[in-house]
Structure 1
């Protein structure tokens, strides 16, 4: 039986019309092109990450899920709908504006077979001066007004534009109209879904030179016009050795921790733990081993790992499932 240990994966990189080369700042070896997404921990038909460390090196997350099951991922560590790993962890480089978009809930009838809805959250790793995002509709905008704005080219007048800076966090429940804009790099924790409905894309061509597909009717159907429960927070007040809750949903809990020295921690039998290193470096230690870490790395800690410690200096995100 394989003894549990923290898993580090080879990312799956995705070229996007809005991508760039900023993920190289994390020491990642990017392929050529406009790289917008690094799928750091993924178990999806559109991208599955492979372990690069320890006894399980060379195995995909899907293989590990099938081989080691609930002992490693916890009693809640599987999607009830499709059996896959329930979360998808990404780093995003927004060298240009993303499309204005919205994601469906799990129960939307138009979802592709086997696909989940998409509730997500962002932690801003880097933001250029005057960076901004689109975060929700302006108050009072209803379906008919949004539809009219799309038809007459004034959709930007219906959207809230919010300034962002490094350390900001945004919780984006399904139904929230949103878009990252140019000059922002984020860590994204989300449901394991690749379903996005584009409302508006600035009339620009895609990588193939053709206009990108829009999904206006689906977008109008799934938008939460009365509010989705989206919340935002500046996290500069996070204290060393304490967890600051950034997002709490039925799909994940995300917390920020500031590391300054040594920090003793533990996993829970109910859920795996995901650690995202936002900045800094150090070592991750557990019974029987240790692993150095640096900014941009993402680790999957098995539910049965038990006690572990972080040593060093930096900022980390901790994600797990609601028990």
Structure 2
């Protein structure tokens, strides 16, 4: 019987027209090109990460699911229905503006086979002065108004722009029109889905030199015109060794904690724990081991791990399945 331990994975790097090289600052090895996304923990046809530490090194998260899913993922985290690991954990380098986009819910009839909807949250790791994001529609914009604005090339008039700085958290339920803009580095915790409908892309060519596809009809269909419950918050009013809930949904709960002294914690049989180290460095200790941790590292703690200790000086994002 294998003893559970914190799993770390080889990130899958994705070139994106809006990407850059900022993820190198976390010590990550980047291929050449404009790297926009590091899929840190993923079990998806478009990217499956492999374990790089300990006894299970070399196994993909899909292999872990097949062999140990029920025990490692927990009663809430393991699904017989679609099987895949329920979350996708990314680091994003937005060197340029992302397309204006919207994601469907699980119930949308136009979803590709086997695909889920996409509710997500962002935690801003770094933001250049003046950085902003697109976050929702302005009041009173209905389907007809959005459709007309897309048709007439003035969709930006319908959208809310929000200034951002490091430490801001954004909850983005499916149906919320949104876009990250240039100058931010973000940790993204989301449903395990790669379905994005592009509303507008600034009329720019893609990596292949051709205009990128827009998904106007799907976008109009899935947008939540009355709002989907998007929430944003500042997260700086937090003490040492305390958790602050920064996003809560049916798919994930994300908390932020400041580790400043040894902190005794535990997993539960209901859910695995994902730890994203946002700042600083330290260690994760458990009954028969210790793992160094630094900014940019992401770990999957099996539900069956039990007690563990965080130590050092670091800012941590903790995610579980409710």
TM-score by length of 2: 0.99
Count of residues in correspondence between the two structures = 322
Alignment partners' CA distance in 2, 1:197 and 1:264: 42
- Residues 28-53 of structure 1: CA deviation (Å, up to 9, x unaligned): 01000000000000000000000000
Residue 78 of structure 2 is matched in structure 1 by: 78
Residue 160 of structure 2 is matched in structure 1 by: 160
Equivalent residues of 1:81, 1:114 under 8 A apart: no
Alignment partners' CA distance in 2, 1:304 and 1:261: 24
Residue 196 of structure 1 is matched in structure 2 by: 196
Residue 140 of structure 1 is matched in structure 2 by: 140
Q: Does 1:265 align with 2:265?
A: yes
- Residues 128-178 of structure 1: CA deviation (Å, up to 9, x unaligned): 000000000001100000000001111000000000000000000000000
Alignment partners' CA distance in 1, 2:305 and 2:260: 23
Residue 90 of structure 2 is matched in structure 1 by: 90
- Residues 191-228 of structure 1: CA deviation (Å, up to 9, x unaligned): 00000000000000000000000000000000000010
- Residues 213-248 of structure 1: CA deviation (Å, up to 9, x unaligned): 000000000000001000000111121111000011
Residue 240 of structure 1 is matched in structure 2 by: 240
- Deviation at residue 314 of structure 1 after TM alignment: 1.3
Give structure 1 regions of 4+ aligned residues with deviation exceeding 3 angstroms.
none
Residue 51 of structure 1 is matched in structure 2 by: 51
Alignment partners' CA distance in 1, 2:76 and 2:172: 22
Q: Does 1:249 align with 2:272?
A: no
Q: Tell me the SS of whatever aligns to 1:146.
A: helix
Residue 175 of structure 2 is matched in structure 1 by: 175
- Deviation at residue 262 of structure 1 after TM alignment: 1.0
Alignment partners' CA distance in 2, 1:289 and 1:240: 24
Output the aligned Cα RMSD: 0.6
- Deviation at residue 78 of structure 1 after TM alignment: 2.5
Equivalent residues of 1:276, 1:299 under 8 A apart: yes
Alignment partners' CA distance in 1, 2:14 and 2:295: 20
Q: Tell me the SS of whatever aligns to 1:66.
A: helix
- Residues 237-291 of structure 1: CA deviation (Å, up to 9, x unaligned): 1211110000110000000000112111000100000000000001100011000
Q: Tell me the SS of whatever aligns to 1:261.
A: coil
Q: Tell me the SS of whatever aligns to 2:318.
A: strand
- Deviation at residue 79 of structure 1 after TM alignment: 4.0
TM-score by length of 1: 0.99
Alignment partners' CA distance in 1, 2:300 and 2:81: 22
Alignment partners' CA distance in 1, 2:102 and 2:295: 29
